Every structure is written in structure tokens, then in C-alpha cells.
Amino acid sequence: MNTRPGHPYPLGATFDGTGTNFAIFSSVATSVTLCLLDDDLNETPIPMTEVDAWVWHVYVPRVGAGQRYGYRIEGPWDPDLGHRCDVSKLLLDPYAKAIDGQLKDSPSLLSYDPENPALLQPQDSARATMHSVVVNPFFDWGGDHRPGHDYSETIIYEAHVKGMTMTHPEVPAEIRGTYAGMAHPAIIAHLKKLGVTAVELMPIHQYTNDTTLQAKGLSNYWGYNTIGYFAPHNAYCSSREPGAQVAEFKAMVKALHAADIEVILDVVYNHTAEGNHMGPTLSLRGIDNAAYYRLVDGDRRHYFDTTGTGNSLLMSSPQVLQLIMDSLRYWVSEMHVDGFRFDLASTLARQFAEVDRLSAFFDLIHQDPVVSQVKLIAEPWDVGADGYQVGGFPPLWSEWNGRYRDTVRDFWRGEFSSLPDFASRLAGSSDLYESTGRKPRASINFVIAHDGFTLADLVSYNTKHNEANLEGGADGANDNRSWNCGAEGPTDDEEILSLRRRQQRNFLTTLIFSQGVPMIAHGDELGRTQQGNNNTYCQDNELSWIDWDLDDEQQALLEFTSKLIHLRRDHPVMRRRRFLNGPAVRGGESDLGEIEWFTPSGKHMKEEEWSQPWARATMVFYNGDAIGEPDANGRRIKDDDFLLLLNAAPESIDFTLPDTKYGQLWHTAIDTGGDDDSSEFHSGDTVTVGPRTAFILRNPRGL
């Protein structure tokens, strides 16, 4: 086959309309062979003889979109020195824009002798592994434009492509569980009705279906097992044509953008699917193990693992940093996504134990003209020492606020001494983020995420019920801060069911009325249950998928959630761009009157009342006439006033509305109990708020 030298950059396979340039990095290879595969997986080997700065490259004419390929790398097998080259393995291109197939449970994926892991045992993996695919980079984006929602206007909806669409009756069966299903008008109509401004998609980078799970009859559902950082996951494509997932993903983004909805990707750059030293040889391990993975000092046979998944990428390596940055830029520039949520983000910036704000990773992000301009969200913890790093990330970054989750859960289940911390979280968590120059946008507020109970299960189970995962209950979190409201799991007790409905509404109301950026997990607006399973990572079935067959109560919850979200979108007093001026532990209260905190008697909270361990009820005034920041056009913002009457106690409490200084006429905006008979109140009135109920009043401007 006639070939040309080609170019060392860009890395990966680049189709130009007449042929394809292939380029791959390996500093340890003694030879590299590009293998083109036909439909029967027969190989056409093409030796790569051109090398520039350890980048091997070749241009192959008449090779175009849809062509399957892989690499065979000759080089040292010496685990003691960290080298694991194995020419018998057909390797995935780390820069592959699409990947075809799934792993088969085969010993050929392993490079070692199971009896002696230090001994090379070559077996050809071509028919058991996945294959890289050349893609067509051309796509008609038409008039696509990024919605560009400000953080203060953002409501995030965490969604799973398959779980969101798999059972929806209006989505045609042939596109359920796919990017095309996610782009279907019925799904978009639901998102619009709900009022969210961004979908945060759980991992869509190509991931593997673990053979260990396959052996148990389970499968990887969540997708936190990436093997291709440029490739949309092929199982979410409605077409079986190699590479079709790229155009289908782009069409999904285009459809969501047309609906004014941003697309944020949950990305897993902290580890790969190759696992620990006993894992398969699929890509990076066989290409240049020591350049891509962090190995244990003094024992380079083993991988330094801060992720709990077997390996960690070597964040001090120029090749790793280049891989990550090239990937991020690709998804922004070519795939038009609007931001990223970084799984176990602390791992990406580890320097010894703590998150190093001066790490190369942060430097690269900060100075990059493309990546720095999109939404960047960190999951600020990992399993390493001092892995809980909430508040530890630098400017530009927002963070999943785990302290918000824990505090709000504690408050509504009636824990004592939670009021000062609750006030900090409601006011935007300035105690965590303001010292680094950040704004309320830094706090991604959530009560529920994919990892844990659903909202309905949070109020229905005291303990996890993960039997379906076949791990003997060893998996999943044990400290859930959940409360079953009086019975474990399903019950016919109407009093308990009523309390559960009220608690779900309490959590949603608190989330929407908190300063910061709210995030809702998909299906929580519908009362979705996982039957007490708080770790459905391997449950690709009805247990995890949204059930769209809604009863009256679920429909009512959807209407309630939509009302809440649209209320927030209509009222800037609930979503300030700047922190409140007062101290976080006093809920931002200051002489400016932006927010004020009262006892149920209508008196300002005194120091001793803040510290009362039994304080489980409070009244909060949101002053719509004291918003310090201007709007997008530089004009002063004026809004209605709100009174939040929050009662987390097990008994009804009488609240006395404050004097006329705060407003004469109040209208019911939200009642999580749903049993208020009056819609109008006056200053000084006594309002009885039922047990464990949030009651929100609105004072229209000027009344």
C-alpha cells in the first residue's frame, strides 16, 4: 500500500477528504504498526517509519470514514521498570474519535501469565478487543449557537442518556437509550416544561463493559470506566455503522441548543478502564505505560491508586496533560459542548495529599482560550488521604458542594444543632468559596446525585438495599443521612406517605431557594425509586431507568418541581451573582438588609438563639429591594420580597409575620404541605406551619 510520511500533529486519525493521517505517541516503542481492519477483522499492517519527538506517523491515501484500525507496539516488557509493551495486543488509539464494538471476556486481553503476573504471555487480542474508527469530521451545524447561560441563571439536570429515554412511550423504540432518543421532541419538551437550563450527561466518553460484571450477568451502567477520551460511547448510538455515533451526538447537541439547553459532560480523566496491574492491555498500558500512568515509587509494577479503580493517570506527564487538554478542546470546538463536570477531580491535581492550586493541570485550564471559557465543575473529592477537598479549588471552578447535601439532609430530618450550617448553605456557602475570590456560582448545590439514593428513596429507606449488585452489601455508602419517615421501603400507611411527599418537596424547595447553582438528578421530579439501591452502577435495567408511567402523585410532584424552577427563573432575589455581605454562619445577614433571619415569633435571631441545639424552625426574609449587583445591562435589579417559613420540627409551629417594614401583604408562593386554605396574609398575622413543612410567601414589589 502506498503511503506518505504524514505529520506528527494532530495526534489520532485525521481524515481530510482524500486520505487519513495517523499519529501516535510512544517513547518506548521500538516499532509501531498501524493495522487497518476489514469487516471480518482481517488486518492490513502498515509499518510506521516516521518518528518525530516520539510521535510515530503516516498518511494513508484513500482511507476514509468508517475504517476500523488499531496499533501494535513493539517495545520492552519489563514490569519492574514500568514497561508493559505487548505486540500481540491490538491497541486502541488514545485519540480515536470513535470506537467500535465491546470487550469480550477473553484471556487474550491479558498480557501476563495468571500464574506469574511478571511473565509475558502473548495472545492476539484483535477479536476480543474494541477497535478505533476513522470518522468524518464534517457536519452541518447550521445556525447552532451556545445558549451561554450565566451561572446565576443555570439549573442543572443530571441525566443518563439511556436511563432518561429507555422507557419513554413517545420515543420510538428503535432510538430509545440513544443520543437520538435524548434529542427527541418528547424528551426536550419535558426538559423545557421542567425549566432546566443545562443537562449534565453522565459519562458518554467511550467506556468498557467490565468483564467481571459480565460474568455476573451485570453490566457497567454509569460509565465511569473510560477508554476513549475523544469518542462518544458507541452503545448510545441508534445506528450500528462504525463511527455513526459522532454525527448522532452532534445532532443531539444541536437539538438541545435549539431548545436553549446547554450540554455539560461528566468526564473521567482520573483513571482508565485498564485497571491495576492485573487488568487488560487495551491502549495506554501497551503504548507507553510509564508515560501515562502514575506508578508506585520504588515498585513500578504497581499503580498509584487515588481513585479506587486500580490506576491514576500521571498528571505530571506532558503526554497526559496534552491528551486531556486536546480532548477537552475537541469536545468544545468540534462537538459544541458547554462545559464539563470532572469526576474525582481532586485526583487531577494531587501533589502529595492536598489539592495543589498551582498544579500544571490548573495552569493549563486557566490559560487555555477555549476550555477556560466553558463551565468547569469539580467533584472535589477522591479516595486518597485527605480526599475531601470541598472549597479547595481555584478561581474559574465550581464544585459539587457535598457539605450542602449533608447539611440540608440533616436539617430536614430534624438533626439538632444544624441551623448555623444550614444558614451558611442556604446563603451560598461563602465560608467555603469567597476566600478564593469566587462567587455563589462556585457552589453547585445538590441534595441528590446519581451516586446515592434517589430523592424518593432518601425519604423511604434508612439503610441501603444493594442486594441486586451481588456484592454482599459491601458496595455503596453507609452514611446516607436518610430517614424512612417511619417505615422501611414501601408502605400503605397514608400518614407516612404524606410525610414522604412533604419531605421531597422540602428538599426541592430548599434547593431552589438557595443561593448558588441548583442541580437536580433525573427522575427526582417524578418520584423515581431504585428500591433502596444507592449504588446502581451495574444496574442497566428498569431499576435505574426512569419509569415514565406516572401516577397522580408523581404527576403532581412534576408540576410542583416545574413551578419551583420557574419561580427561581423569574426572581433574581433567589439567584444572586454576588455573595451576601454578612457572615456565612449567620446566613449572610448584615446591615444592608439583603437577607434577615427571624425566630418563629417574628423577632430577629439573637446569638443565643442561633446556638440553641433544638432550633429546628426559622423564618428568612429575602429582600428584593436590596440586590447589590446590576443586571446584564448594568441596571439596578428590583424584585419581589420573599419570606421562607421553614419548620423541620415534628410538630406544627406558629409563625408571626414581621412588621410592616418588611411588607404589608403576603401571598402564598409555595406550600410543601399542600393544605393551606388561605392565599393572603398581612404583617403581624400568625401563620401555622405544619410539621416538617416549608411555607413560602411572596410580597409583590411595593405592597
Active site residues: 343, 379
Q: DSSP letter string over 148-165? A: ---GGG--EEEE-HHHHH
Q: Is 545 helix (H, G, I), strand (E, B) or coil?
A: coil
C-alpha neighbours within 13 Å on the C-beta side of residue 535: 18
The alpha carbon torsion through 379, 380, 384, 388 (nearest 10 deg) reads -130
Measured distance CA(60)–CA(45) in Å, rounded: 12
Q: What is the 3-state secondary structure (H, E, C) of 190-220?
A: HHHHHCCCEEEECCCEEECCCHHHHHCCCCC
Closest C-alpha to 355, from 308, 388, 320, 322: 388
Q: Is 236 helix (H, G, I), strand (E, B) or coil?
A: helix
Pairing of strands 83-84, 205-207: unpaired
Bridge partners, residue 436, by sequence: none
Closest C-alpha to 129, from 155, 151, 99: 99
Contacts (Cβ under 8 Å, ≥6 apart) of 239: 245, 248
Element spanning 595, H or E = strand 595-598
Q: Tell me, what amino acid is at 32? A: V
Q: Is 402 helix (H, G, I), strand (E, B) or coil?
A: helix
Residues comprising the chain, all counted: 703
The number of helices, as runs of H, and strands, as runs of E, in the chain is: 15, 35
Q: What is the 3-state secondary structure (H, E, C) of 95-118?
A: CCCEEECCCCCCHHHCCEECCEEE
Distance of CA 500 to the CA centre of its chain: 26
What's the angle, vertex CA 421, arms to CA 417 and CA 426, rounded to 5? 130
Distance of CA 439 to the CA centre of its chain: 20
Measured distance CA(430)–CA(579) in Å, rounded: 6
